[in-house]
Structure formats: C-alpha cells, structure tokens
Amino acid sequence: MLSNTMTQRCSTLLLLLPAPAKRLAGFLLTVPGLLPHPTSTSTRPPRTPLLGIFDPQTRHLSNSCPSTTARVKKQSRHQQRAGATSCPDLHRDFASSTTRVPHHNQHHPTTTTASQTSAAMDLTNPSDPPPSYIEAARSHGLRLRQSAPVRRGPLPLELPLLTHLATKRVILASASPRRKAMLEQVGMRNLEIMPSEEPEDLDKASLGPEEYVQGTARRKCLSVYQSALAAQEDAAARQRKAASLADVVVPEEPALVIAADTVIVTRAGRVLEKPRDEADHARMLQHLRDTRTHRVLTAVCVLAPKADASHPGYEMASHIEDTEVRFAQASDGLADDVIAAYVRTREGADKAGGYAVQGIGGMLLVEKINGAVDNVIGLPVRRCLQLCEKVLFRQGEVDEDEEDDDA
C-alpha cells in the first residue's frame, strides 16, 4: 500500500504528465483496490482476487471464495461510475471492450470486462493490460480452431495408363454402380456410362460357363462401341446441316470401352444370374448354402480403336477371373429364416447369385473366399487395368494365354 505522503506526491506528478498519461493514471487511481484514491487518507484493505479463484499474494487457489458473479457485477458497476467521472474518454474505450460470458442459466448472464478476462488468462500477473482473447490464447500457446480438421484421403494413384486416359473419352458399358465406383477409386474419374442394349440370350446349355460369360461380355463391349460410333456419325451429319457449327456438338471417338459380365456357377455346373423374384431369390441362396461352395466367373472385355486403322479397326482383349466362394451352413447359423430375412433387405436382388459380398451378405452368408474379392463384387480391377494397357499401348501383340486358347 502507498502511504499518504506518496499519494500526495503522485497527485502532484499528475499535473506534470501529458494529457493521455493523465487520463490513464486517473483511471488507474479510480480502480477499487488497485491504488488509494489521491484525495483519500484511509488505507484500503488488500485487494480481493478478481475472479475469486487465485490470490496473488499467497499464490494459492481458494475453494471458499465469495460469490464471483455478485462481486464481478459490483466491481463492474463501480468501475463504470468511477471511469465516467474521472476519465470519460478512457472509460468509453474500456466499456467498449466489455464482453458477455456464457452462463449455465441464460436468464442471468454474467458480465465480465476485458481486464477480468486478462486476469483469468494470466494468473501470475492479474494487473496486465487487457488483451483480446485470441492474443492471450496465443501468448499462452493455446491452439484455437473453429472446427475439426479436414481428413484428407490417400494421394491419387499415378500410373501411365491413368494419366493417358485422364483427358480421353472412356466408356463403361455397364449400369453397375459397383463397377463404376471401383474404377473411379483407382483413378478413372471421367467415365461415361453407356449400358449395353444387346440381349443376353446366348444358349447356356450349348456353351460352358466360361464361354457363355466371355461371349456375353464381348457382345456388350462391341455393341456399345458401335453405338458410340453411330452417334458420332449422326451428330456430324446434323452439324453439317446446321446453320452454325456451334449448334451441334460432335462427340469424339471413344478411346476405350470397358465391359464385364458376372455369373455364378454351382457345383453341378449350373449358371445362376440375377434372381427373378423374391421366391427365386430365396431358393437360389438356399441352394448355394446346401451345395456349400460355388464359383464366381467375371469376364472383362476392353476395346480401343487401332492407331493404324487396320481391319477390323479396333483392338479387343478379354479375361475370365474365377473365384471360389464357400457359404455358411444351417448349423453355423444360416437357417432358412435368416436367408428369408436377408432376401427382404433387397440387397442382392440386382446381383448375380443374389448376394453382395461387400455388404450384409458378405458378413451373413459367406464363410470363405478363395481368389480375388473384387471379382466377387463384379470387376477384377487389376486384370482390367492390364487389359487396358494391352489394347492401348501394345496393339498387335499376342499373349501366351491367347495362343493357348486358339490351340
């Protein structure tokens, strides 16, 4: 505490200070408990901790503090009255920094000043000038963020094939959203979906499962390619007749066409495709359970125009992927009522074999898979990329597998 003599000396010095310093000193002298008032001859008691949680003299936290809300309100009103009488300009700046602190009862919010916020942020020196809460947080090394950080996915896959196709017209001759999603996941993001309208009417009895699925995929691929060329020629003819070339847009020739077909082959060699109705769906899954294992065949066929335009004008390559799937048994929990419940989910209604290995069916029905899992989903992606490289960058070459097939 300052003595009365020192107080008088401080009052004398105030007359010698410039105007801004006079206003600041006059305001500080009016803050309760900070300094004795220049005109007062009494000695003030020790200052009460501002927030009632820290004593700057003993440097200890106190759990038995008086009501913080009532004391802060009383001190705030006293400071406003004192500031208004002694230093109106500084008081106006001080009052403009008053902030509202959220309270658990919204009907009785607590008002605190910027100096109180500073005291709460820096307990070691409660009389520091009141900084903004962002500056105070940064000075104490506290990180401020408005929301959770954005989680970035993996970096894109960089392959010469994907870089080459990034600006080309690539057609997926399938309406399957799963095949589209898998190709987009590896980097083919400019896919044009054009499902084949060719009927799948090859004779299953006269053809084996491999010949049937490969023939169907080839027919889909060639049909979509020819439809794209026909649409291009039609657009070019309409453009020639149009008054302005900008009225009709002629699509470019497809750089690549991808087609696929998937079937289920039972242990007896019977080919299963999509279920016709709910009863057929249940019978199909019960048969796969009772026969224990089955095969999933997916034929992938890709086509690209020939660079030298030689006959037949395109390069085509295909591959058949074979995966063995083992179903659970009734004794393992796959009873008829469980199958009926799965059928009612409609998850496998549009899929060959009537189940989705990437969904509930993979957890409920499937016990084991021997081979490529993405083949069971509908597209062996790695084999598909290999075929795309062949028809684009190695045209005219004959693989050993194709020589064996011809023999």
Torsional sign, CA 137, 60, 98, 66: positive
- 89 classed as catalytic: no
DSSP 353: G
Question: For residue 88, is the peptide bond before it cis, meaning its omega torsion is within 30 degrees of 0?
Answer: no
Q: Look at residues 301, 302, 304 and name the one whose alpha carbon lies nearest to residue 214.
A: 301
DSSP 334: -
Gap between the Cα atoms of 24 and 237, Å rounded: 86
Gap between the Cα atoms of 286 and 322, Å rounded: 22
Q: Using DSSP bridges, classify how beta strands 170-172 and 256-265 pair: parallel, antiparallel or unpaired.
A: parallel
Candidate list 55, 247, 261, 280, residue with the active-site label: 261
Look-up of token digits 């009365």 = 4
Q: Tell me the β-bridge partners of 305.
A: 314
Phi and psi based region of residue 70 (left: phi greater than 0; alpha: psi -120 to 50; beta: remaining)? alpha
Cα atoms found within 13 Å of the Cα of residue 52, Cβ hemisphere only: 12
Gap between the Cα atoms of 125 and 112, Å rounded: 18
Look-up of token digits 């190695």 = 394
**One-character DSSP codes across 48-98:** PPSSSSEETTTTEE-SS---HHHHHHHHHHHHHHHHHHH-HHHHHHHHHT-
Residues with catalytic function: 261
